[in-house]
Structure 1
Amino acid sequence: MAQTARVKGIILDETNQPVPGVTVVCEDKTTTTNENGFYLLNVPANKELNIVFTHSVLKKVVLPISLKTNEDYEYNFFMTDAEQLGGVTVTRGTRKRVEGIVDIAPEVIRKIPGANSGVENIIKTLPGASSNSDLSTAYSVRGGNYDENLVYVNEVEVYRPFLIRSGQQEGLSFTNTDLVQNVDFSAGGFQAKYGDKLSSVLDIQYRRPTKFGASAEASFLGGSASVDLVSKNQKWTGIAGFRYRDNSLLVNSQETSTNFRPRFLDFQANITYTPSTRWQWSFLGNISQNKYDYQPLTRQTNFGTIDEPIALQVFYEGQEKDRYTTFFGAAKSVFEMNENNTFKFILSGYHTVEQEYFDIFAAYFLGEVDQNIGSETVGDVSFNQGIGTQLNHARNDLDALIVNAEVKGFHKLQREAEIEWGVKFTREDIRDRIVEWEVIDSAGFSINPPIIDVPRDQPYNPYTGPLVPYQNVRAKNFANVDRYSGYVQWNKRATWNGHAIWLNAGVRTHSWLVSGDNIDGKMQTVFSPRAQFAIKPNWEKDMVFRLSGGMYHQPPSYRELRDSSGVVRPDVKAQQSIHIVAANDYSFRWLGDRRFKLVSEAYYKSLSDVNTYTLDNVRIRYSADNDAKAYAYGLDLRLNGEFVPGTESWFSFGYMKTEENIAGQGYIPRPTDQRLKFGVLFQDYMKNIPGVKLYLNMVYNTGLPGGSPSYANPYDYQTRLRDYRRADVGFMYVLTENNKNRPDGHWLKRYKDLSVGFEIFNLFNNQNAITNTWVRDVYTKNQYGIPNYMTTRVFNVKVSARL
């Protein structure tokens, strides 16, 4: 048998992104780089060889080499100086520019501070994306709600728990940032290969390691650890991560005094097996558990005006115990038939078991505040003008199993064209029980809901009507949803009068059927044609113009099928949006020849068959009747680059308006109508002490519509919450900053990064409101929308290490 050796490595382009599809040839041995730019090739040993690296648009690289038997040689390099192929230059960075995708570096995600740090924390600084919840991973994009965003990890769609009603309950994002290789985000106008949602796509790839590595992080909010493993023959690789989080530090800074310890933990692993250059197998698994134990004690919220300050005092009894346990697994196989044809097979399953149990009694006092400066009781309630009690009860259970099976094909054609296609089957099995009610008593009188119209004129006449809860939802649903979906799309690169152009056209189809106990739905089918056109003029300025859009459908998920009374309506239609995006991407040099980019996007959405909803914190309740139409339009701007040499920062601005017309009553703002948005992500370091780093995350959003009381007509309540203003800052001292100047054997040399520092959340201590609590005054008959404020200023200490 011939003696062999191995050559491996990762190939990057000039933007520091992996280059897939590089052909690696040595004599009769051939392989290609995968989506992470990784390659592995067995070559003859004890022989002078030339290994040739070729790419369709990048210059050829030749590596002369001679290896010993069983020697492993790692060769990582950059393929730069792109060749002109018919006037078209294509790299990974160029592909993202023409597709309208924002690429977020994993290092930025790990370093930027936030009350709930991670991928979603960074997305909220981008134009078009927003969130008014400090502790939630949910975000709204261009007027859509939290259920309208697609999230993929390794091409597998991931899901959020169903019963979450508060950002405090969400805990950890599915994405473990310690395991991430690439993060791509599109705010709209995306291609047919992505699924059936109306607003955005977050596409995440976990890395495939090439050597052993490890990382760990600890702070007052919890900790995490990860490990990279590689077998000797490079055929097996694995990454695994464990995370634990305790939000007590943040929650205890809120106005409500509680006995509260929310704990969240998860474990993830991604294992890859490459038996040959043609086949690759992988498995992604996740186990997550969220425990939310909540015992409120007291609360006081001051509101009103300077002349007439009012305070709400609440004294609580009871507790809440919530549990969310999820299991996720996905197996994926990639078969490269030849350099022009590749097939992917994906099988995934998601299982969630959720419970929401609470019995909370609240006695409230609405009173006047002592505003006499110098008084011993200044700021306290001096006179109560409203008294009442409220009892909330819930015993909600949900068990959901979602299984997916998918096949994809990728085919390279002649003349720089490609065809992609995919078919997918999804089975959703939902078992849901809702028992939830609320009783309100005001000044000794039990308040009936407005839907019960019985005259009350006590004490002159006795009340003879029914005594019922103010809200009462009781339902038990056993529902199944079978989904069949598929897509085909065509990509083309060409030149036209010396200008580079890119074309993409495709169509998706989705059919679904809702069935179950006492549920008899009809099969429904929708088609979604989509297209993109981009041109890079043959100008001295580096500009790309892009026009994209099409028809987007969102077939209803289980939450969209269930109305506010808990009843499943199987024939709810898919919401439909005609979405058009016009964009300009301008790359230029500035501030001493540093790289900068200005991206401008204008968009318009026309929505029909809209499934209206109410938004309370992060809980969405749908009407499930498709009785509205809506629109959204806006402008997004983002300037990013090296404002400080060697770092990336950006400034973003967004203007957006979205309104809906419910049952022909006229247009009113949608619950996500956030008109103005400013975001800043800034990195800096001390010039004289470069190891001291600063990371700043600032967001300003104008106020959202404040909602309306239960049973109220939203057309009668067009108030808005106060503007959302938040700044989080982190200071880190990087102990390994000068490792290149340290002698071999120094203890810090073993670390790629070792940092210690502190973070300040809500730096300026702004009072941001997530929603309103509606309270009646029995004397004046007024109803007050009292803001529920979120976290105040909080300090955190953090230590991180990477091997």
Structure 2
Amino acid sequence: MKHLLTLLVLFFTYSLTAQTGVIKGTVKNKSNKPIEGVAITYLNKGTSTNKKGEFEITVNANKEITLKFSHVAYILYSKKITVQKNKTIRLYPVLNLKVEEIDEVVVKNHKNTAQGNITINPSDISKIPGANNGVENILITLAGVNNNNELSTQYNVRGGNFDENLVYVNGIEVYRPFLIRSGQQEGLSFVNGDMVQNVKFSAGGFQAKYGDKLSSVLDIAYRTPKEFAASINASLLGGSATIEGTMFNNKLSAIVGARYRDNSLFINSKDVETNSNPNFTDVQTFLSYSVNEKLKIDFLGNFSVNNYEFTPSTRRTKFGTISEPLELIVYYDGQEKDQFETLFGALKGSYIVNKNLNLSLTTSTYHTMEEEYYDILASYNLGDVNNDFGSDNFGEVEFSEGIGSQLNHARNDLDALISNAEFKATFKKGKHQIDAGIKYQYENFKDRLNEWEVIDSLGFSVRPPNHSIINQPYEPFSGSLEPYQKVNAANNVTIDRLVWFTQYSKNTNWNNHKVWYNVGVRAHNWNVSANNLESVNKIIYSARGQFAIKPDWDKDMLFRIAGGMYAQPPFYKELRNNSGNVVPTVEAQKSLQVVLGNEYSFKLWDRPFKLISEAYYKHLTDVNTYTVDNVKVRYAANNNAKAYATGVDLRLNGEFVPGTQSWISLGYLKTEENTDNLGYISRPTDQRFKFGMLFQDYVPNIPNIKMYLNLVFNTGVPGGSPSYVNQYDYQSKLDAYKRADIGISYVFTDRQNPSNKRWLGNFKEFSLGFEIFNMFDVKNSITNTWVRDVYSKRYYGIPNYMTSRVLNIKLNMKF
């Protein structure tokens, strides 16, 4: 019987093999170089090429099949073929690159690097996983750019704060809400990633044509559609829809995008149990009308509403060390309701006078109405945790270090209107270019701040330390109850600004070396009228320059030096001090900067790579010191400090996996400030070491399965200090920030790999996948909550932990 079964198995196996044939060969490109990682598929079978480009696949015999050769960097190649049984056929397909203009792209990248700009592929914006799916999500993987709050799109650059970054969309400056105290309230970034065509980012040493900020420039260009298209993105966090097309014989092009986001998935993963409903909505449109060959009119509009409703219930936070574990238990009563409503519109006319001269006139208006209302009572118990493994009460609080409560109240309202008109001219002739512009801006802020905090410890109200009556709980006191902290102010501020700039640029050759340089100067005059006080008028000048050279060497390298004078005249937030009162005499913060950079392009594993290195130093004077509570920046409005920031940024970009772009970033930063000559201490953004990685991959045999990995490691920033204390006495740092987000998706069809399935015929792209945020479930802290015990006069810094591991399902469709 056993022999009979063996014969049957052998016969069956022979019958199967007898009905097959073999196809083998080598896949190469136009340069006759083998291509590794090419997926060869037919039906549900497949293989891939090795390092020599070789492959071998067994197929059904005597039947016509379609063999597909696909690679993310090459155009899909298909071949219909029939193989006779037990025969071997050899194939030597040649694949064409998807991007034929590779030389032009290389030249363009060198030009951007010469100007100090990093370019970002807009197609990566929606693919890279992150709690905030947008341009800022990619920025924080770059060296020198940091953000320790995954619920916020705010970021700081090379030691600066969140208010020191310029953001432009199609040459128009855009603004963020002002009353932000937590990333949970912030909602969506202004930039709609589905509408983006180009992204340029400069982390310092930028040109004079950009505005007066100290840290960085994010320069976004929305695309001008050429044909009808639509896209829909949906996930557990919300969704977006975009539609674009042309009308009136292609004279009018329009793109409209709508987004909705709900952060409940993240908020509910924190250590505070809440009933939360944070939702954010915005609609944007970009219209471009060509009146004739010389005149074009553009319109950019945005409407957004951010609603944040937060009802905390309880909080349990364990912290401390193994030998001295502590736990904070809080019971809450009350709620927070915030709403930010923003309207923005800009009209731009561009006129081509001749082949050398372009003129443009831009007007824009930004209006924001913001409400921040909350009444939250927190009753807390801070105690020592039993760390005896043999005890029946292991892990439970056995001794209370502090018992008390605090009541936080706020009724903050802001109405801000910012309007401007700007004229620009660009003159080009040969290798020379002159840019000039003048801008007038009117700003009006109507602000009411009414917030206070009452602290009670062991049944006794805690008065401010500077109170005339010392806190002494055992002596009776019949006076009025005073808050521990109080901000009560009503401001009506008007700021008029007149800004102009001019700059000269030239591309030339020095012997056989390519040279590019740029010099420019800016002037900024501002006049502040506040609360019927005497108006204050000030002016400041700044000069900037850049020089880059690409030597005529065998190695593809570029060297760059940039810097100059940078100034940040006070915006409304910088004018308002800790008490909420406006100080019109606040000076502009000033910075002398120098940036040294190098770009080295080379081949590794026969694939393109690029190493970008930059070293920088900033010397800052008239510094307006500030504190950071989560992402809320509160200024002292006194210009009584000086500071510096220095560091090195490295970024290696290339095809770590054939046909995909990934990068690794490393950064070292040291930034300190000296207030009133008391000595240098770390600034709130002193984040010494940064590691970031954005990695893309795919399954070789199934290239439609894509993987995106986003890794960030930042050493801890200063944890802040309690109110009314000397910040020089509180210089401890938070724990390191560690985060890994991963996204895996299956691309059913796209333009490079069209599907032959009928139901996918109407899609230009269709993909489905999932994302895991904070994959390793690391507890990252963003700030400290300071709890004070009256009896011991001791402060306890309790870390505010961010979100834990979260799963998201994601669907992308393009038509």
| Offset at residue 498 of structure 1 (A) | 1.4
Question: Among residues 652, 670, 675, which one is paired with 1:662 in the alignment?
Answer: 675
Matched, 1:526 2:540: yes
| Offset at residue 340 of structure 1 (A) | 0.3
Question: Among residues 431, 454, 472, which one is paired with 2:469 in the alignment?
Answer: 454
After superposition, residues 76-155 of structure 1 pair within 5 angstroms as 91-155=107-171
Question: Among residues 510, 533, 541, which one is paired with 2:524 in the alignment?
Answer: 510
Distance change in 2, residues 1:422/1:308 (3 Å): same
Cα distance in 1 for partners of 2:160, 2:753 equals: 48
For residue 17 of structure 1, what is the aligned residue in structure 2? none
Matched, 1:773 2:793: no
What is the DSSP-based 3-state SS (H/G/I as helix, E as strand, rest coil) of the residue aligned with 1:92? helix
Distance change in 2, residues 1:381/1:422 (3 Å): same
Long gaps (5+) in structure 2: 1-97
What is the DSSP-based 3-state SS (H/G/I as helix, E as strand, rest coil) of the residue aligned with 1:250? helix
For residue 4 of structure 1, what is the aligned residue in structure 2? none
CA deviations on 1:308-332 (whole Å, 9 max, x unpaired) are 2111110000001000000000001
The one-letter code sitting in structure 1 at the alignment partner of 2:518 is N
After superposition, residues 457-472 of structure 1 pair within 5 angstroms as 457-459=472-474, 461-463=475-477, 467-472=481-486
Cα distance in 2 for partners of 1:264, 1:423 equals: 35
CA deviations on 1:128-175 (whole Å, 9 max, x unpaired) are 110111111010100000000000001000000000100111100000
CA deviations on 1:342-370 (whole Å, 9 max, x unpaired) are 00110001000000000101100011223
Question: Among residues 193, 213, 227, which one is paired with 2:209 in the alignment?
Answer: 193
For residue 57 of structure 2, what is the aligned residue in structure 1? none
For residue 754 of structure 1, what is the aligned residue in structure 2? 766
Query: Are the equivalent residues in 1 in contact too, given 2:284–2:300 (CA < 8 A)?
Result: yes
The one-letter code sitting in structure 2 at the alignment partner of 1:417 is H
Provide TM-score, normalisation by structure 1.
0.87
For residue 475 of structure 1, what is the aligned residue in structure 2? 489
Query: Are the equivalent residues in 2 in contact too, given 1:385–1:779 (CA < 8 A)?
Result: no
What is the DSSP-based 3-state SS (H/G/I as helix, E as strand, rest coil) of the residue aligned with 2:749? coil
Matched, 1:431 2:443: no
Cα distance in 2 for partners of 1:728, 1:741 equals: 29
The one-letter code sitting in structure 2 at the alignment partner of 1:396 is N
| Offset at residue 703 of structure 1 (A) | 0.3
CA deviations on 1:262-313 (whole Å, 9 max, x unpaired) are 0000000001101211011110100000000000000011112212211111
Matched, 1:721 2:747: no
Query: Are the equivalent residues in 2 in contact too, given 1:149–1:199 (CA < 8 A)?
Result: yes
Cα distance in 1 for partners of 2:287, 2:554 equals: 46
Cα distance in 2 for partners of 1:647, 1:163 equals: 41
Moved more, 492-501 or 243-252: 492-501
Cα distance in 1 for partners of 2:471, 2:212 equals: 50
Aligned length: 718
Query: Are the equivalent residues in 1 in contact too, given 2:414–2:445 (CA < 8 A)?
Result: yes
Matched, 1:639 2:652: yes
The one-letter code sitting in structure 2 at the alignment partner of 1:343 is L
What is the DSSP-based 3-state SS (H/G/I as helix, E as strand, rest coil) of the residue aligned with 2:383? strand
What is the DSSP-based 3-state SS (H/G/I as helix, E as strand, rest coil) of the residue aligned with 1:545? strand
Distance change in 2, residues 1:156/1:741 (3 Å): closer
Cα distance in 2 for partners of 1:81, 1:165 equals: 47
For residue 799 of structure 1, what is the aligned residue in structure 2? 811
The one-letter code sitting in structure 2 at the alignment partner of 1:521 is S
For residue 382 of structure 1, what is the aligned residue in structure 2? 398
Cα distance in 2 for partners of 1:329, 1:144 equals: 29
What is the DSSP-based 3-state SS (H/G/I as helix, E as strand, rest coil) of the residue aligned with 1:776? strand
| Offset at residue 520 of structure 1 (A) | 2.1
Cα distance in 1 for partners of 2:748, 2:502 equals: 51
| Offset at residue 673 of structure 1 (A) | 0.4
| Offset at residue 94 of structure 1 (A) | 2.7
Cα distance in 1 for partners of 2:248, 2:524 equals: 45
What is the DSSP-based 3-state SS (H/G/I as helix, E as strand, rest coil) of the residue aligned with 1:634? strand
Cα distance in 1 for partners of 2:558, 2:207 equals: 18
Cα distance in 1 for partners of 2:325, 2:100 equals: 65
| Offset at residue 715 of structure 1 (A) | 0.6
The one-letter code sitting in structure 2 at the alignment partner of 1:512 is W
Query: Are the equivalent residues in 2 in contact too, given 1:739–1:748 (CA < 8 A)?
Result: no
CA deviations on 1:549-577 (whole Å, 9 max, x unpaired) are 00000000000000010110111000000
Question: Among residues 439, 446, 457, which one is paired with 1:442 in the alignment?
Answer: 457
CA deviations on 1:404-452 (whole Å, 9 max, x unpaired) are 10000000134x1110000001100100000111100000111011121
After superposition, residues 175-194 of structure 1 pair within 5 angstroms as 175-194=191-210
What is the DSSP-based 3-state SS (H/G/I as helix, E as strand, rest coil) of the residue aligned with 2:739? strand
Matched, 1:411 2:427: yes
Matched, 1:551 2:565: yes
Cα distance in 1 for partners of 2:473, 2:418 equals: 54
What is the DSSP-based 3-state SS (H/G/I as helix, E as strand, rest coil) of the residue aligned with 2:112? helix
The one-letter code sitting in structure 2 at the alignment partner of 1:706 is G
Cα distance in 2 for partners of 1:418, 1:144 equals: 31
Cα distance in 1 for partners of 2:99, 2:689 equals: 43
Cα distance in 2 for partners of 1:562, 1:436 equals: 15
For residue 601 of structure 1, what is the aligned residue in structure 2? 614
Distance change in 2, residues 1:742/1:670 (3 Å): closer
The one-letter code sitting in structure 2 at the alignment partner of 1:773 is T
Distance change in 2, residues 1:303/1:225 (3 Å): same
Long gaps (5+) in structure 1: 1-75, 83-88
Query: Are the equivalent residues in 1 in contact too, given 2:748–2:755 (CA < 8 A)?
Result: no
Matched, 1:325 2:341: yes
Query: Are the equivalent residues in 2 in contact too, given 1:456–1:463 (CA < 8 A)?
Result: no
| Offset at residue 713 of structure 1 (A) | 1.1
Provide TM-score, normalisation by structure 2.
0.86
The one-letter code sitting in structure 1 at the alignment partner of 2:504 is W
Question: Among residues 611, 615, 622, which one is paired with 2:635 in the alignment?
Answer: 622
| Offset at residue 455 of structure 1 (A) | 3.3
What is the DSSP-based 3-state SS (H/G/I as helix, E as strand, rest coil) of the residue aligned with 2:728? helix
What is the DSSP-based 3-state SS (H/G/I as helix, E as strand, rest coil) of the residue aligned with 1:110? coil
Cα distance in 1 for partners of 2:100, 2:462 equals: 71
| Offset at residue 456 of structure 1 (A) | 4.3
Query: Are the equivalent residues in 2 in contact too, given 1:729–1:760 (CA < 8 A)?
Result: yes
Matched, 1:564 2:578: yes
For residue 159 of structure 1, what is the aligned residue in structure 2? 175
Distance change in 2, residues 1:501/1:391 (3 Å): same
CA deviations on 1:66-104 (whole Å, 9 max, x unpaired) are xxxxxxxxxx9966767xxxxxx9943232021111000
Query: Are the equivalent residues in 2 in contact too, given 1:391–1:440 (CA < 8 A)?
Result: yes
Query: Are the equivalent residues in 2 in contact too, given 1:267–1:288 (CA < 8 A)?
Result: yes
Cα distance in 2 for partners of 1:543, 1:401 equals: 47
What is the DSSP-based 3-state SS (H/G/I as helix, E as strand, rest coil) of the residue aligned with 1:209? coil
Question: Among residues 256, 267, 277, which one is paired with 2:272 in the alignment?
Answer: 256
Aligned-pair RMSD on alpha carbons? Answer: 1.7
For residue 206 of structure 1, what is the aligned residue in structure 2? 222
Query: Are the equivalent residues in 1 in contact too, given 2:617–2:647 (CA < 8 A)?
Result: yes
For residue 239 of structure 1, what is the aligned residue in structure 2? 255
For residue 681 of structure 1, what is the aligned residue in structure 2? 694
CA deviations on 1:194-215 (whole Å, 9 max, x unpaired) are 0000000000000001100000
Query: Are the equivalent residues in 2 in contact too, given 1:189–1:579 (CA < 8 A)?
Result: yes
Moved more, 162-171 or 89-98: 89-98
| Offset at residue 737 of structure 1 (A) | 5.5
Query: Are the equivalent residues in 2 in contact too, given 1:690–1:737 (CA < 8 A)?
Result: no
What is the DSSP-based 3-state SS (H/G/I as helix, E as strand, rest coil) of the residue aligned with 1:134? coil
Cα distance in 1 for partners of 2:231, 2:172 equals: 25
What is the DSSP-based 3-state SS (H/G/I as helix, E as strand, rest coil) of the residue aligned with 2:380? strand
Query: Are the equivalent residues in 1 in contact too, given 2:751–2:765 (CA < 8 A)?
Result: no
Cα distance in 2 for partners of 1:124, 1:741 equals: 33
What is the DSSP-based 3-state SS (H/G/I as helix, E as strand, rest coil) of the residue aligned with 1:735? strand
